[in-house]
């Protein structure tokens, strides 16, 4: 009988050990899968198109501004900025604008040229330190008047070069003299200001212009 009691005692002891170990074993927490938050894609906002005040005429490398065309009658042939071969760079801006004066529409044509040793992106230049500067404006209405620039104050900024164009802005005050058939010579003060986008062209492309 002792043998049977011993066997029963062993089984009871083993059962108690299993029970105690099962009670003391750590309870594993059931991990819930993390919910992924939906990604919010940032919409790319395209830059607003830039408005350019000046988009006509040309930018030329290896060039220089030549002497003004000699003309006896300023209204038989418009005197524009002459370009010749050189070692500098020249930017010429041209614009025709229609304005209303005393109820009637009149057209004006403006030419502005500046010669620098080099136009570099991100730089601002003092026009008083330029190699050469020329300015002409023609009033094509009545009375017909030509404005010749003589002195210049202000700056020109080069933003950069893009797709064979030079981009930047100009803000220059021009003073000079006027010529007219119906009025005696006088003086004027103009301001040429705004953003520009001007095409880069070779000097040969300016022939007959």
Q: Model confidence over 4-32: pLDDT tens digits?
A: 555 555 454 555 555 555 555 455 556 66
- Kindly provide the b/e burial profile for residues 45-76, where b requires at least 16 CB atoms within 10 angstroms of the residue's own CB: eeeeeeeeebeebbbbeebbbeeeeeeeebee
User: Strand 83-101 relative to strand 165-180: parallel, antiparallel, unpaired?
Assistant: unpaired
Mention every residue, 6+ apart, whose C-beta is less than 8 A from residue 148.
135, 136, 176, 177, 178, 179
Mention every residue, 6+ apart, whose C-beta is less than 8 A from residue 126.
154, 155
Nearest to 139 by CA among 131, 148, 152: 148
- Mean pLDDT across 114-127: 98
Task: Please state the pTM of the whole predicted model.
Answer: 0.71
pLDDT of residue 184: 86
d(CA 51, CA 169): 11
d(CA 154, CA 170): 8
Give the Å distances, CA to CA, from 34 to 31, 37, 41, 64. 9, 9, 21, 71
Q: Model confidence over 68-107: pLDDT tens digits?
A: 764 454 443 445 788 889 999 999 999 998 877 677 788 8
- Of 122 and 69, the one with more pLDDT: 122
Nearest to 134 by CA among 117, 147, 118, 119: 147
pLDDT of residue 74: 47
- Mean pLDDT across 150-177: 97
d(CA 207, CA 80): 13
Q: Count Cβ atoms below 10 Å from residue 19 Cβ, excluding itself.
A: 10
d(CA 66, CA 47): 40
- Kindly provide the b/e burial profile for residues 186-198, where b requires at least 16 CB atoms within 10 angstroms of the residue's own CB: eeeebebeebbbb
Q: Model confidence over 125-144: pLDDT tens digits?
A: 999 999 999 999 988 876 78
């Amino acid at each position: 009988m002792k043998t049977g009691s011993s066997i029963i005692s062993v089984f009871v002891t083993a059962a108690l050990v299993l029970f105690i170990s099962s009670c003391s074993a750590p309870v594993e927490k059931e991990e819930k899968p993390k919910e992924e938050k939906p990604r919010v894609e940032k919409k790319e906002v395209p830059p607003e198109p830039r408005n350019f005040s000046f988009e006509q005429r040309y930018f030329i490398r290896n060039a220089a501004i030549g002497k003004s065309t000699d003309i006896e009658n300023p209204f038989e042939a418009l005197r524009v900025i002459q370009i010749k071969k050189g070692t500098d760079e020249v930017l010429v801006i041209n614009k025709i604008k229609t304005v209303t004066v005393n109820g009637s529409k009149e057209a004006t044509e403006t030419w502005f040229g500046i010669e620098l040793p080099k136009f570099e992106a991100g730089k601002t230049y003092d026009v008083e330190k330029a190699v050469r500067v020329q300015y002409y404006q023609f009033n094509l209405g009545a009375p017909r008047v030509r404005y010749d620039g003589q002195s210049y104050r202000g700056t020109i900024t080069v933003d950069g070069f893009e797709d064979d164009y030079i981009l930047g802005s100009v803000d220059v005050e021009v003073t000079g003299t006027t010529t007219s058939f119906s009025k005696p010579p006088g003086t004027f003060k103009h301001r040429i200001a705004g953003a520009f986008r001007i095409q880069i062209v070779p000097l040969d492309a300016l022939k007959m212009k």
